[in-house]
Structure 1
Amino acid sequence: MLDSRRVGRWRGRIAIALFCLASAACTEAVTADTAPPVAVAARTPAEPPALLLPVQGVAASDLRDTFDDGRDGDKRGHEAIDILAPRGTPVLAVEDGRIVKLFLSKPGGITVYQFDPSGQFAYYYAHLDRYAEGLAEGQTVRRGAVIGYVGSSGNASPDAPHLHFSLFRLGPEKQWWKGEPINPFGFLGGGKP
């Protein structure tokens, strides 16, 4: 009698478990079919995509990786790459995104901060000669759009116009001035706009 009770309990438990599994599967299927669509970001990359080289007419083979170079007597790292070009050469948006800040600073001079479409990465363009006409904060830009022109504003040598380009992974606060530096060297040269 004791053994038949155990068998009965097990059968009951198995029946309940099967019922729960079947109910969950049906509920999930109904929910998936009837739930309204959820907006999903275009991409949420762990790494940045291949980026357009931001200085018109410069080939990827002309770049030099200056990310780890020391600055201020090796007191700080460069955390960017410098792309040499004649003053006035167009500076291009490296990918689609939004201009979040136009800023004039002592070290960077005339600068642009751009966020990528997912809001995970910030692109920093510095030492510009000037902004592209009509460029504004909050503006959406397309990959390859002219956003400024190479210069030597800020603490750059007037004899060596260049674009100082940085790439940052943004934190949850999405602060344009703060993020984890990523060496952009390997991500640049991702084709034509």
Structure 2
Amino acid sequence: MTPAETRSWPAIPLPPAGERAGDLAERGLLVPVQGVGRAALRDTFGETRGDGTRAHEALDILAPRGTPVLAVEGGTVRKLYASERGGLTLYQFDPSETYAYYYAHLDRYADGLAEGQELTKGQVLGFVGSTGNAAPDAPHLHFAIFRLTPEKQWWKGDPINPFEVLRGLR
């Protein structure tokens, strides 16, 4: 697949997303890839992945490798993590520690980025890549939002469709 191509996956049902996240749309979150406007986003939430075995609970934003990835709002770097599926990833908590933002398939982190670091809206976190299970010829940011559980576990929460939030549909 080339970067210009897109895949068409049939949608599969998702588990209930929990409480609506209308307040997120009101926060004016940034599109997390520099130079990508809201109108260019394509809703990939709920599409099938893993040969139809799981739902995609995120938004994929195609961009050239090395494009800066930005913090959608202020908050804290909760975890820098490398995984088989997500590759080089970053988990950010919002200032109230109600929501987590997940940035995956990064080519690399921004210089000096560290766990526990306070972030400002628009701060460069890293750069678009194709690490993990992303196709090497289709660099993109896999961006997810989830409402944290009371335990505030960085890897766990109720998924929220980032497309709806970033396009102001909620």
Q: TM-score, normalised by structure 1?
A: 0.73
Query: How does 1:1-193 map onto structure 2 within 5 Å?
Result: 47-48=23-24, 49-188=27-166
Q: CA RMSD in A?
A: 1.3
Report how far residue 74 of structure 1 moved. 1.7
Report the CA distance between 1:46 and its aligned residue. 6.4
In 1: Cα distance, 2:79 partner to 2:46 partner? 26
**Between structures 1 and 2, the one with greater helix share:** 1
Q: C-alpha distance in 2, partners of 1:159/1:101? A: 27
Assess if the C-alpha contact under 8 Å between 1:59 and 1:189 holds in 2.
Answer: no
What is the SS of the residue equivalent to 1:47?
Answer: helix
The letter for the 2-side match of 1:74 is: G
CA distance in 1, matches of 2:115, 2:129: 20
Percentage of identical aligned residues: 66
Output one character per residue of 1:9-63: Cα deviation in whole Å (capped at 9) or x when no partner: xxxxxxxxxxxxxxxxxxxxxxxxxxxxxxxxxxxx8632331000000111111
Between the two structures, name the one with larger relative contact order (CA 8 Å, sep ≥ 6).
Answer: 2
Q: Name the one with the larger strand percent.
A: 2
State the secondary structure of the residue aligned to 1:148: strand
Shift of 1:125: 0.1
Higher-Rg structure is 1
SS of aligned partner of 2:39: helix
What is the one-letter code of the residue matched to 1:67? F
Aligned mates of 1:52, 1:189 — CA distance in 2: 10
Q: How many aligned positions are there?
A: 146
Question: 1:187 is matched by which residue type in structure 2?
Answer: V
3-state SS in 1 of match to 2:23: coil
Over 3 Å counting, the alpha-carbon distance change for 1:163 and 1:47 in structure 2 is: same
Alignment deviations for residues 109-137 of structure 1 (CA, whole Å, 9 cap, x no partner) = 00000000000000000000000000000
CA–CA distance in 2 between the matches of 1:63 and 1:121? Answer: 21
Structure 1: runs of 5+ lacking an equivalent: 1-44
The answer to whether the 8 Å contact 2:106/2:126 transfers is yes
Contact 2:45 2:57 in 1 (8 A): yes
Q: Deviations over 1:66-117 (max 9, x none)?
A: 0010011221100001000000000000000000000000000000000000
